[in-house]
Chain A
Amino acid sequence: MVKSSFRLGDVEFANRVFVASGTFGYGDETGDLVDPDRLGAIITKSLSWKPRDGNPPPRIVETASGMLNSIGLANIGVHEFIEKRLPHLRTLRTRVIANIAASSIQEYCDVLNLLEAQEGIDAFEINVSCPNVKEGGLSFGTNVELTREITRQLRRLTRRPLIVKLTPNVTHISEFARAARDAGADAVSVINTLIGMAVDIQTARPRLSTVTGGLSGPAIKPIALAKVYEVSKAVDIPIIGIGGIGSAEDAVEFLMVGASAVQIGTMNFVDPAASVRIVDGIAAFAEAQGYADVASIVGSLKADVSYSVLQSWL
């Protein structure tokens, strides 16, 4: 049997498939449709200090092979999460990664501190890349210095794996990966959603209440792959690849290009059973290649870097 598990810091994950923040709630709501213990990790919906209502509707729009969302980080807040949702998560075997979103560096630190004191959180993913809120989010993730500073301050507060989730809405994502790495991040998640919009021509209005939103789904896979590739040439820390993964084949593309693990996001809305199928499909692929460990797929891309256009800015 192929070895599927992998380590990040002191944490061992059963496999390299996680479910992305915002696509699996707080991990305790879809047990009737998918067994969370088959997954490497659940990443929680972004948690903020106070509960957030989120943006007014319309918040979602289907687009060609994808969707736009402008949820606006609607969440129950870190206090209610700890009190009402974490107890159930502690009973699961799967790993729990708390995703944190905030409007100020202090708020990131306050939320992390509170979670750090709890049992049951295995790692942190820092959301500096949400395109749907006015404060925080992208205004951090598109600023290299702020990304570095937030990572630096959070690093001091925990020894658990610290993952920084990067936005593709920048010119050179590799700069941000380097900044996060320099400041002590254990890994980076690549990518969050891409800024996009849609228009209702009958009313001449944007289809989202916030005008623009984040694009996700199969349409963004080629972009995500290129970003993972770029980051893989810039830093040695593990990369968790995200972007339009709908099948095991998609996931293997990300591993080959340099991701150590992947996140399934939008596909969870389309097919709740997909994430588990992808876990099994990756193992089957590795087995068919004659590998003893899924790790052999990671970074196995055969590419002559001299041909890569990206080289000019790495």
Chain B
Amino acid sequence: MNRFQRGARLIRLEEVAEGTYVLALECAEIAQRTLPGQFVNVRLQEGSWGPLLRRPFSVSRVDGNVLELLFNIVGAGTRLMASRRSGDILDLLGPLGKPFGTETPFETAILVGGGLGVAPFPILTADLRRRGRSVETYLGARTERHLCRRHLENVLVATDDGTAGERGTVVELVRRHLHDRMPARPKIFGCGPTPMLKALASMSLQLGVECELSLEGDMACGIGICQGCPVERTSGSKKYALVCTDGPTFHAQDVRL
């Protein structure tokens, strides 16, 4: 494995949608090696134990030596992240995890993101476009103000309150569109809250479309040691896989959510 523990300089922190922030960090060795679907485990502060553990974030986008993370403030850790300043050095572990499978033969990538699940889609889109694949993106969010469409392609949206796109869930939106017109040789990439992933997995099974999911898991180490982030497998002799090293990307039918 080729992972690094490096100090990354905070270049930019800005709010890009309601309650959603982009954190841009300069770290050449990690940025240059990150593949779509991988994450970094971020130490929020040194010399203090509150919070103690690192926090894992998908790498949202890579631009040269800079990697971008996307986050919402949901607790003590992310509150601390949002208070860091330009020039601060954050200790990163990465790149971590198994990336999305973009090398397999398919023609059209269908990206389905719920809320902050949009996070890995910019880096995934860039990779897919480099490989000459078509990309269709479906996003779901609470309201129009919560949507984050930066660096994506062919985006259709669904909002809970109907202030943008269709009113309803993103999985329903995808289902209707694929029913009307199934693109050539499709592969679905899903990321978002677990109930959304379950619905997406079920839909892809019904339609017979290959589907890869990016899972979240409570993590301590993020590097495959502590065994704290298990997800149940659907086959094989081992009951659990680890989200941090066997994932976070999994074939939808390989895991039980």
- Whether A33 and B218, one on each chain, are in contact in the complex, defined by CB atoms closer than 8 angstroms, is no
Per a CB cutoff under 8 Å, which of B91, B223, B228 touches A69?
A: B228
CB contacts between A and B, total, < 8 Å: 98
Residues of B within 8 A of A299 (CB): none
Give chain A interface residues in 3-26, CB to chain B under 8 Å. Answer: 22-25
Cα of A159 to Cα of B73 in the assembled complex, Å: 55
Residues of A within 8 A of B240 (CB): 53-54, 74
Task: Tell me whether A29 is interfacial, beta carbon within 8 Å.
Answer: yes
A59/B49 contact (C-beta < 8 A), A25-B224, A32-B1, A271-B43 known: no
- Whether B43 and A54, one on each chain, are in contact in the complex, defined by CB atoms closer than 8 angstroms, is no
- Whether B225 and A54, one on each chain, are in contact in the complex, defined by CB atoms closer than 8 angstroms, is no
Residues of A within 8 A of B223 (CB): 29-30, 33, 272
Give chain B interface residues in 7-65, CB to chain A under 8 Å. Answer: 43, 49-54
Q: Closest B residue to A272 by CB, please name it.
A: B5
Per a CB cutoff under 8 Å, which of B52, B93, B225, B231 touches A65?
A: B52
**In this complex, which of B5, B43, B219 has the most chain A Cβ atoms within 10 angstroms of its Cβ?**
B5
- Whether A33 and B5, one on each chain, are in contact in the complex, defined by CB atoms closer than 8 angstroms, is yes
- Whether A62 and B226, one on each chain, are in contact in the complex, defined by CB atoms closer than 8 angstroms, is no
**In this complex, which of B52, B91, B93, B229 has the most chain A Cβ atoms within 10 angstroms of its Cβ?**
B52
Cα of A22 to Cα of B229 in the assembled complex, Å: 14
Interface size of B as a range: 20 to 34
B contact patch SS = loop
A65/B220 contact (C-beta < 8 A), A22-B226, A25-B225, A29-B225 known: no
Cα of A269 to Cα of B228 in the assembled complex, Å: 11
- Whether B218 and A270, one on each chain, are in contact in the complex, defined by CB atoms closer than 8 angstroms, is no
Give chain A interface residues in 35-81, CB to chain B under 8 Å. Answer: 51, 53-54, 56-62, 64-67, 69, 71, 74
Task: Tell me whether A314 is interfacial, beta carbon within 8 Å.
Answer: no
Residues of B within 8 A of A66 (CB): 49, 52
Give chain B interface residues in 163-222, CB to chain A under 8 Å. Answer: 217-221
- Whether B2 and A269, one on each chain, are in contact in the complex, defined by CB atoms closer than 8 angstroms, is no
Residues of A within 8 A of B101 (CB): none
Residues of A within 8 A of B2 (CB): 32
Task: Tell me whether B3 is interfacial, beta carbon within 8 Å.
Answer: yes
Q: Closest A residue to B77 by CB, please name it.
A: A62
Residues of B within 8 A of A57 (CB): 217-218, 229-231
Q: Closest B residue to A72 by CB, please name it.
A: B227
Cα of A62 to Cα of B43 in the assembled complex, Å: 14
Task: Tell me whether B238 is interfacial, beta carbon within 8 Å.
Answer: yes
Task: Tell me whether A268 is interfacial, beta carbon within 8 Å.
Answer: yes
Q: Closest A residue to B245 by CB, please name it.
A: A29
Residues of A within 8 A of B218 (CB): 57-61
Task: Tell me whether B150 is interfacial, beta carbon within 8 Å.
Answer: no
Q: Closest A residue to B222 by CB, please name it.
A: A269
Give chain A interface residues in 178-224, CB to chain B under 8 Å. Answer: 217-219
Cα of A272 to Cα of B3 in the assembled complex, Å: 11
Residues of A within 8 A of B130 (CB): none
Residues of B within 8 A of A157 (CB): none
Cα of A15 to Cα of B228 in the assembled complex, Å: 29
A74/B43 contact (C-beta < 8 A), A58-B218, A217-B52 known: no
Cα of A54 to Cα of B5 in the assembled complex, Å: 29
- Whether B225 and A24, one on each chain, are in contact in the complex, defined by CB atoms closer than 8 angstroms, is yes
CB of B76 to closest CB in A, whole Å: 9
Residues of A within 8 A of B52 (CB): 62, 65-67, 217-218, 266, 270
Task: Tell me whether A292 is interfacial, beta carbon within 8 Å.
Answer: no
Cα of A246 to Cα of B1 in the assembled complex, Å: 25
Q: Closest B residue to A45 by CB, please name it.
A: B227
Residues of A within 8 A of B228 (CB): 59-60, 69, 71
Cα of A266 to Cα of B49 in the assembled complex, Å: 12
- Whether B226 and A218, one on each chain, are in contact in the complex, defined by CB atoms closer than 8 angstroms, is no
Residues of A within 8 A of B220 (CB): 60, 62, 67, 69, 266, 269
What 13 new A-B contacts, CB under 8 Å, besides A22-B227, A59-B218, A66-B52? Answer: A22-B226, A25-B224, A29-B224, A30-B225, A57-B231, A59-B228, A59-B229, A62-B53, A64-B50, A69-B220, A266-B52, A269-B53, A271-B43
Binding site for A on B (CB under 8 A): 1-5, 43, 49-54, 91, 93, 217-221, 223-231, 238-240
Between-chain CB contacts (< 8 Å), 16 pairs: A23-B225, A29-B1, A33-B4, A57-B218, A57-B229, A57-B231, A58-B218, A62-B51, A65-B49, A69-B228, A217-B49, A246-B49, A269-B53, A269-B220, A270-B43, A271-B91
